Homo-oligomer: A and B are copies of this chain.
């Protein structure tokens, strides 16, 4: 069901159309930089700020999802299923496979389901510990 609109209630524009169609076309995880480069390669131009804004809007609408980082750049990917899930990002080709959420699945299930060999994973759970519930944010960061 891809009838979800890339920009939700936002406006469309030639740039945004190009960006959305390129994100679709890439079919794998990409950085803002990848996206810009791909656009340029197709003769489409879009300022950096515009690409960042467009990607933020697409993420906001749920049409795109942040799927981790590559180096110091954020990684994004098209995301069809509205249901909660997680991602298998191939470090070789960048393909992104969706997989069910419950953390019960593990490395071997990734392998069984997708033939995907997990070599690294990053799992951190955020929440509130026993002593803090229900406390405020750790707001003493001052920045």
Which residue, of A34, A106, A120, A123, has the highest number of chain B Cβ atoms within 10 A?
Answer: A123
Known: A70-B141, A124-B68. A129 touches B92 (CB 8 A): yes
For A81-124 the 0/1 string (1 means CB < 8 A from B) is 00000111111111101000011111100100011111111111
Take A105-B103, A143-B71 as given contacts and tell me if A91 and B137 are in contact as well, using a CB distance cutoff of 8 Å. yes
Contact between chains at A129 and B114 (CB < 8 Å): yes
A43 an interface residue at 8 Å Cβ cutoff?
no
Counting chain A residues whose Cβ lies within 8 A of the other chain, the interface size class is: 35 or more
Q: Can you name 18 A-B pairs with beta carbons within 8 Å? A: A68-B124, A87-B125, A88-B125, A89-B124, A92-B128, A92-B132, A93-B138, A104-B104, A104-B105, A116-B128, A117-B127, A118-B126, A118-B127, A119-B128, A120-B127, A121-B123, A121-B124, A122-B124
